[in-house]
Structure 1
Amino acid sequence: MVEARVAQLTGVYAVSALGRGADAQLAGALAGVPAFGPVSRFDTAARRVTVAATVPEVGTLPDELAAAIDAACRAAGLDRAQRTGCALLLAVHGGPALGAGPAPAAGAGPALGTAPAVLAGQLAARCGLSGHTRVYTSACVSASTAVADAAAQITRGDVERVVVAAGYLVESDQFALFDAGRALAVDGAVRPFSAGRRGLLLGDGVVAVVLESSTGRRRGVDPVATVVGWGRAGDAFHPCQPEPGGTGLARAVDAALRRAGLPPEAVGYVNANATGTAQSDAAEAAALRRALGGHGTRVAVSSTKSVHGHALEASGLLELVVTALALRHGELPVNAGWLGPDDSCPLNVVKDQPQKTTATHALTLNAAFGGANTALLVGVG
């Protein structure tokens, strides 16, 4: 019998305001202490909101991405020879945010405004990945879409391994746009699914993962988790507002479950997209009930954006890493900022302290302006 091909996470690395390294992300998410503080990276004097979750000392985004890719490859036990021919899928903002962080020294790498495709090629060469590159600039579903594509390539047998990397460092342009659009929380807290939620807050995120077929196990590497299902769907309801019934996101969840061959009851945890905004959180709650039926009100749910902020294009990858590690650890992150229940979000939200679990499968969800929705289903054990 031919063994079914699967896409395993064999190496992970992440940087956020919770700290550097994958373990720091899990520890911070389980501690449930939000990492938001005053922004010192640029002038916020003219802004309604002046806080975000930023890394105190950070390099340029290209340098941080290169370091993350190297670290993920080392965690997967890949030497320079084994990186040869490996593809790089890169999720980044399509504009000048590529230059966020301190100005690079002469000759240190791409400058402000480097095109994403150029950056991907430079990172691949710098990190010894000689396979093809592909870039994703589809806003908040960029990284999760890249993971879905990588998993599809591996399970089809097109490739043995893929590196997926994603990065966003809080910068003045996107900060100003979200602030002007009154999307940022004026009370300085992200309160997903909670009564009294006021909006989102931005956060740094630089992440890289290695996805492989069973070649990782043959090298003696114990995979962190397996991407067992994925789904993508669009609802095109409104440029900025989600479809109130959550139909697009529900279709993405349905597709992920069908691909994995699992029933809704197999899902033991959902790391929700929930940004702390009134309409999007309510629509996501509706999507979970639509996709999971009665299990949608019973399954444990939280949004780790409540502690590390919204990392835009990098969100999907940062949250995938946290979800996989939490499932493997057997403890589910707290939904920070909780003030009380909201009738529009009748969910089993993880409150007060981390929740012990023996679950083997979890969903991590993302949604973007324009009605794009993604669902990744991971398994451990």
Structure 2
Amino acid sequence: MDERRVVITGLGAVTPIGNDVNTMWESIIAGKSGIDFVTRVEKDNYPAKVAAELKDFDPTAYMDKKDARKMDPFTQYAVAASKMAVEDAKLTIDDSNAHRVGVWIGSGIGGMQTWEEQHTKLMEKGPKRVSPFFVPMMIPDMAAGQVSIQLGAKGINSCTVTACASGANSIGDAYKAVQRGDVDYIIAGGTEAPISNMAFAGFSSAKALSTNEDPSKASRPFDKNRDGFVMGEGSGILILESLDSALERDAHIYGEIIGYGSTGDAYHITAPAENGEGAARAMQHALKDAGVSPEEVDYINAHGTSTALNDKYETAAIKTVFGDHVKNLAVSSTKSMTGHLLGAAGGVEAVISIKSITDGIIPATTNYETPDPDCDLDYVPNEARRQDVNIVLSNSLGFGGHNVALVFKKYQ
């Protein structure tokens, strides 16, 4: 069976730097940060003081108030971003095509805020006070489930849970579903709302969060003085569609997804494999799947978490894969502005990668001040760069040794 070409026809996002794609992208170009002092937890109780929270997000702009109350914020974010993306794609879902419209949305940890609220009720008031909606609000697949219900999508409905690679894995898995012909359209990406006492405490105990108390400087990927990631929240969604379908309905085509690579480190529960061996293989697999050479890639949207090992070993992995071409390759981490959205990161960064192609702009790595000998690539320091962008590779790496690379291309 011939593999079908898969294009992107719709984009949606809610992020710490904008609750729609255009606002987010304008912030990215301007180097604007969405990081500030955390408000969802009492910052004086934790060594980390900052986070990248959504601002002025109103779920009732996208769903009925009664429905919103039955959703954890991670699901609300996914529903909002998905409705934006479907509207952007001008995709009408009705009885004629509902069975050919899929949903594949990943989340790393699901309903943390719901879990925390209901556990407090259990401890303080007893088991009878725990909400009957506790389980369906908490489980990570419910974002995909609720998007399907809200939009009437009856095709494949799934959720890939691979920690911070969840959004990227979900897009890759969705891409293959369209390529195979399982569906003609799929709503795909990631979502996360992790900013809670339990998540803050857990990541703090693991010494993963930045303790820099200057919000404007805390997330500093690839900089020698990086000291951990900044927790963020939000959702990024793409509409993936077969090229034939997009042409038939005269849809606007943002770009094409042409490659997907996914590997496991088999090494450690949190640390990346030495020299980024697993990440390198994911990039190699994605390029082979795309049928492009390393020299054809213009830009890498890096995982770039601002942690010591990730940035060092991702840099090493890029060198392994791209060889001499690294001298001509732009690499940046937009987590310097958005913070790390965990399972939503791959979704939001896929949207950013597509916008980079359509607008011919490579986002900067902000807060890059002190070079690190272990991180010596062109990280597009501090100012976005205008240049023609034909092919972008986007990396996402997760606890458990999950490595994902996606390849996007200018549509021709």
TM-score, reference length from structure 2:
0.86
Alignment-derived partner of residue 242 in structure 2:
213
Question: Given the alignment of the two structures, is residue 62 of structure 1 paired with residue 87 of structure 2, yes or no?
Answer: no
Letter in 1 for 2:354: A
In the TM superposition, what are the counterparts of 1:244-283 in structure 2 within 5 Å?
244-283=274-313
Determine which structure has the larger helix proportion and give its number: 2
Instruction: Return the letter of the residue paired with 1:137.
Output: V
- The alpha-carbon deviation at position 226 of structure 1 amounts to 0.8
- The aligned residue for residue 195 of structure 1 is 224
How far apart, in 1, do the equivalents of 2:74 and 2:148 lie?
A: 14
What is the CA distance between 1:11 and its match in structure 2?
0.7
Counterpart CA distance in 2 for 1:89 and 1:352 is 34
The equivalent position to 1:87 in structure 2, one of 91, 94, 102, is 102
Matched letter for residue 237 of structure 2 = A
- Residues 352 and 71 from structure 1, CA distance in 2 versus in 1: closer, same or farther, beyond 3 angstroms? closer
Tell me, in whole angstroms, the C-alpha distance in 2 between the residues paired with 1:246 and 1:37: 31
Deviation per residue, 1:241-285 (Å, 9 max, x gap) = 111211111111111111111111110001100101111101000
Verify the 8 A CA contact 1:97 1:168 in the aligned structure 2. Answer: no
Match of 2:123 in 1: none
Could you tell me the percent identity over the aligned residues? 30
| 2:366–2:383 CA contact under 8 A, matched in 1 | no
Q: Which residue of 1 aligns with 2:35?
A: 36
Contact 1:193 1:345 in 2 (8 A): yes
The answer (yes or no) to whether the contact 2:236–2:349 under 8 Å persists in 1 is no
User: Which residue number corresponds to residue 145 of structure 1?
Assistant: 169
1:78-127 deviation per Cα after TM superposition (whole angstroms, max 9, x unaligned): 11316611111121234532639999xxxxx9557532345533331122
Q: 1:74 is matched with which residue? A: 87
In structure 2, C-alpha distance between the alignment counterparts of 1:49 and 1:71, rounded to whole Å? 33
- Using the alignment, how far apart are the partners of 1:101 and 1:9 within structure 2? 37
* Offset, 1:296: 2.4
SS where residue 252 of structure 1 aligns? helix
- Residue 5 (structure 2) pairs with residue 6 (structure 1): yes
Q: Work out whether residues 101 and 169 of structure 1, in 8 Å CA contact, stay in contact via their aligned partners in 2.
A: no
Report the residue type matching 2:98 in the other structure: T
> 5+ residue gaps in structure 2?
60-72, 119-131
Candidates 140, 146, 150, aligned match of 1:116: 140
**Shift in CA distance, 100/335, structure 1 to aligned 2, threshold 3 Å:** farther
* Corresponding residue for residue 136 of structure 1: 160
Quick one: distance in 2 between partners of 1:119 and 1:314?
A: 12
Q: What residue identity is the alignment partner of 2:139?
A: A
The aligned amino acid for 1:303 is S
Change in Cα spacing, 1:365 to 1:324, as seen in structure 2 (3 Å) is same
Structure 1 spans left out of the alignment, 5+ residues: 104-108
1:160 is displaced (CA, Å) by 1.1
**2:331 is matched with which residue?**
301
| Structure 1 residues 83 and 276, CA gap change in structure 2 (3 angstroms) | farther
1:343-374 deviations in Å (ceiling 9; x for gaps): 10120110131111112001100111121100
Q: Alpha carbon RMSD of aligned pairs, Å?
A: 2.3
List structure 1 segments (4+ residues) > 6 angstroms apart after TM superposition: 100-103
Relative to the length of structure 1, the TM-score reads 0.93
Q: 1:18 corresponds to which letter in structure 2? A: I
